[in-house]
């Protein structure tokens, strides 16, 4: 075995392949075939989309678990621990199991190099197969057509939403991005689209490959009432459901897409209304308007593109704080800065800019310059502990601390708060 510690495996994987992101299925298919991991798994649900795919997987996982299924869920990225990416029966994969899976993949790959994400994807397949999972839930990492999880044919594919993100890799407009994301569709197998605005390229891709397209507002719908909601789909209706556990009105769309997917595979994974209700109430996901209560409320959200930030701001308006809103913000370099800052500026009173020792993170000074140019107040900037100490000292009861901009920002906030 090359390494005995998970940390060592992960550090090595980041250096093994010459490119951190190298979309394509050939390497994964070659190694997966050698390991026997691409033989037909029981049921595969693949979830893609610009925003909402992690939430959709969380609902699917919780509902299917409530229905007594043994569920394997593969998501990315993680926030605190790599183990978060692979869950079996609701439990994160243990270090020892991941190490053994990586060793088997390393032995089988020969001279074929794999990316960090490809190693993780094959490890998920390996552990799901060994655990005898009834259903594999696979979240697309980037795009769809050439993403590693697309090496398996989905029994039902879900696209939660499409907006501008990763334009350097997926295309400059929504039509191009839609075509890439619809690459997870398969002939004769249902495809669910969970947002009201759908690029024409998605319908074209479904028609071209012969995938029946279930579109919200046309083939299924949901109705929100006071303290409850209802779902009406091709497979029947579920009434008087509890609201999704994850905060925000946009979560109804994510939950409804999950319910549509479940109706699409009801012949093999039947669920009752009671199991749906139990799953909606049990779903958990860090960093999605995650509330850390106290005299000063902390809200943590991984929103990092304009569409995600707009949904976040809408939720904040529904839950106004008594005092000031302090934003702790950091962003990856490849993201659009002005388009993310503008919606947040409507609800933020002062800004605290997190400087992270990561070359992929935009320098705090650059963000500060953009904010000041727009006439916005920058209260401070610096490393995690120093900055969070300063924020804590500056806030008063009734204030809110909003942590957003990237997964890394939320990670640092959770580490800070867990140490207090």
Q: Are residues 239 and 204 in the same domain?
A: yes
Compute CA distances 169 → 22, 41, 304, whole Å.
10, 30, 17
Catalogue the E-assigned strands of 196-310. Answer: 213-215, 221-224, 229-233, 236-241, 290-292, 297-300
Q: Are residues 237 and 105 in the same domain?
A: yes
Class of residue 151 by CB neighbours under 10 A (exposed 0-12, middle 13-18, buried 19+): buried
Q: How far apart are the C-alpha atoms of 131 and 49, rounded to whole Å? A: 28
What token pair was written down for 40?
Answer: 């037909």
Contact 138, 49 (CB under 8 A): no
Domain coverage including residue 358: 290-418
Contact 153, 187 (CB under 8 A): no
Q: What is the pLDDT of residue 193?
A: 98
Q: How far apart are the C-alpha atoms of 289 and 394, rounded to whole Å? A: 22
Of 261, 282, 303, the residue at which a domain comes to its end is 282
Q: Are residues 159 and 36 in the same domain?
A: yes
Q: How far apart are the C-alpha atoms of 382 and 365, rounded to whole Å? A: 9
| Residue found by looking up tokens 């696979």 in the block | 138
Of 282, 302, 323, the residue at which a domain comes to its end is 282
Q: What is the pLDDT of residue 420?
A: 52
Q: Are residues 94 and 233 in the same domain?
A: yes
Class of residue 218 by CB neighbours under 10 A (exposed 0-12, middle 13-18, buried 19+): exposed
Residue ranges of the chain with per-residue pLDDT less than 70: 420
Q: What is the pLDDT of residue 402?
A: 98
Main-chain dihedrals φ then ψ at residue 400, nearest 5 degrees:
-130, 140
pLDDT tens for residues 156-182?
999 999 987 777 778 879 999 999 999
pLDDT tens for residues 349-368?
999 999 998 889 999 999 99
Q: Are residues 220 and 363 in the same domain?
A: no
Of 252, 282, 312, the residue at which a domain comes to its end is 282
Q: Are residues 234 and 106 in the same domain?
A: yes
Main-chain dihedrals φ then ψ at residue 65, nearest 5 degrees:
-65, -40
Q: How far apart are the C-alpha atoms of 162 and 175, rounded to whole Å? A: 9
Cis-peptide, bond into residue 77, ω within 30° of zero: yes
In a domain, 1, yes or no: no
Provide the CATH number for the domain around residue 94: 3.40.1190.10
Contact 110, 48 (CB under 8 A): no
Q: Are residues 263 and 402 in the same domain?
A: no
Provide the CATH number for the domain around residue 394: 3.90.190.20
Q: How far apart are the C-alpha atoms of 101 and 144, rounded to whole Å? A: 24
Partnered with residue 353 across adjacent β-strands are 329, 381
In three-state secondary structure terms, 412 is helix
The number of domains in the chain is 2
């Amino acid at each position: 075995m090359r390494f005995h510690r998970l940390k060592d495996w992960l550090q090595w994987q980041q250096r093994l392949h010459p490119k951190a992101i190298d979309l394509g299925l050939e390497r994964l298919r070659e190694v997966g075939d050698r390991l026997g991991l691409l033989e037909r798994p029981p049921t595969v649900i693949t979830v893609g989309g610009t925003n909402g795919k992690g939430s959709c997987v969380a609902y699917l996982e919780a509902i299917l678990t409530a229905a007594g299924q043994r569920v394997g869920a593969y998501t990315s990225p993680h926030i605190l621990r790599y183990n978060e990416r692979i869950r079996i029966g609701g439990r994160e994969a243990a270090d020892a199991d991941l190490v053994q899976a990586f060793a088997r993949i390393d032995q089988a790959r020969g001279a074929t190099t794999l990316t960090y994400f490809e190693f993780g994807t094959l490890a998920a397949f390996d552990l799901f197969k060994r655990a005898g999972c009834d259903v594999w839930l696979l979240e697309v990492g980037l795009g769809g057509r050439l993403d590693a999880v697309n090496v398996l044919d989905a029994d039902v594919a879900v696209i939660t939403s499409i907006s501008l993100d990763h334009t350097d890799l997926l295309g400059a407009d929504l039509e191009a991005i839609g075509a890439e994301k619809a690459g997870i569709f398969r002939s004769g197998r249902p495809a669910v689209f969970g947002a009201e605005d759908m690029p024409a390229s998605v319908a074209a891709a479904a028609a071209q490959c012969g995938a029946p397209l279930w579109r919200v507002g046309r083939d299924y719908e949901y109705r929100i009432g006071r303290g409850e909601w209802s779902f009406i789909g091709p497979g029947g209706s579920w009434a008087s459901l509890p609201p999704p556990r994850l905060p925000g009105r946009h979560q109804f769309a994510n939950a409804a897409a999950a319910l549509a997917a479940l109706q699409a595979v009801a012949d093999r994974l039947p669920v009752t209304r009671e199991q749906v209700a139990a799953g909606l109430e049990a779903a958990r996901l860090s960093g999605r308007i995650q509330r850390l209560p106290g005299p000063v409320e902390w809200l943590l959200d991984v929103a990092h593109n304009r569409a995600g930030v707009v949904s976040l701001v809408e939720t904040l308006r529904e839950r106004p704080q008594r005092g000031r809103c302090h934003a702790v913000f950091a962003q990856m370099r490849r993201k659009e800065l002005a388009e993310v800052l503008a919606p947040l500026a409507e609800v933020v009173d002062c800004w605290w800019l997190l400087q992270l020792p990561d070359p992929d993170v935009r320098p705090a000074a650059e963000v500060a310059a953009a904010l000041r140019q727009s006439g916005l107040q920058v209260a401070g900037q610096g490393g995690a502990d120093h900055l969070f100490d300063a924020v804590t000292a500056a806030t008063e009861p009734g204030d809110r601390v909003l942590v957003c901009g990237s997964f890394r920002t939320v990670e640092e906030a959770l580490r800070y708060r867990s140490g207090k």
